[in-house]
Amino acid sequence: MKTFCGRANPTTGALDWVEESEEYDYHQEIARSCYADMLHDKDRNEKYYEGIRAAVSRVKARGERVVVLDIGTGTGLLSMMAVTAGADYCYAIEVFKPMAQAATCIVERNGFSDKIKVINKHSTEVTVGPDGDMQEQANILVTELFDTELIGEGALPSYEHAHMHLVKASCEAVPHRATVYAQLVESDMLWKWSQLQPIEVDGNKLQPPPAVVKCAGAPSVCDIQLSQVPPESFTPLGPICTMFSVDFSKPVSSAAQTYTAQFKAQTSGRAQVVLSWWDIDMDPDGDIVCTMAPSWNYSDPRTYPVSTAD
């Protein structure tokens, strides 16, 4: 059995799955991961539970047996939410073997093993049929495949395969849709992150060569909480733009696509950094929203949801 481990690509922000040797310490990998952060993210978990309950209710209202496919189950939390909400059965997929083993244990200890099957495979390797991993196609698709850039964690290939092979054409999806926003800004502070700065070593100041200082470096993704970036450290050059939206309840394509957004400049300056975040609607009507928007985007800070997700 191959065991894969996620590795972040610093240039694209994508999560690449690489095979590790048997000697690799996966306990340390789990300890350094964000599983604990997600489990303690109250706003995220409440929104997921609301969305799952609403999806289960919609399927039951159609008189259908509720079968859930949970891709990237992690600890199995969302699968257990689905069964608690009334799902008849749930297939929980997790490619990271140590995490799949943990999910199996957690599901058993909480008394859900008769309604949740943990599958230690990449979702694109899962099969449906009498001899397959799944006995039937699901009518609810639940996922937590998102990263800083929303779909950099191999989300689109997984969604594409799921809609082709693992779920029914009329399936519900939680989240239902996602929207990515961006804002072009000028910020000397953020711009310096892509440059080598002088450092002090034993009282001596090491200065990079001028040619190196002038090099802008490779365009890269910085995984940060935008709420921690002080508004006074950047100058918006234009309005917040809606870059694109994805409906996860419908078939998606993993092929490369280009989206263009135009905006009217609000002020003069140097276009140095693009700030980006996203929202996910847990239901078709957009009544249950989990947002990654920074706190300074709220006119009333008291309405900002307390979240640890990126």
Q: Is 222 helix (H, G, I), strand (E, B) or coil?
A: coil
Q: Is 234 helix (H, G, I), strand (E, B) or coil?
A: coil
Where helices occur in the chain by DSSP H, the ranges are: 26-32, 35-39, 42-61, 77-84, 97-109, 155-161, 188-191, 210-214
Which residues, other chains included, contact 139 with Cβ-Cβ below 8 Å and sequence gap of 6+?
A: 59, 64, 65, 66, 67, 167, 168, 170, 171, 172
Active site residue 144: yes
Active site residue 94: no
Contact (Cβ atoms closer than 8 angstroms) between residue 116 and residue 76 = yes
Omega prior to 175 cis, within 30 of 0: yes
Residue 177: strand pairing partners: 247, 281
The residue annotated as part of the active site, out of 50, 94, 144, 172, is 144
The residue annotated as part of the active site, out of 153, 160, 172, 232, is 153
Residue carrying structure tokens 């200065």: 207
Q: Torsions phi, psi of 138, nearest 5?
A: -90, 155
What positions carry a catalytic annotation? 144, 153
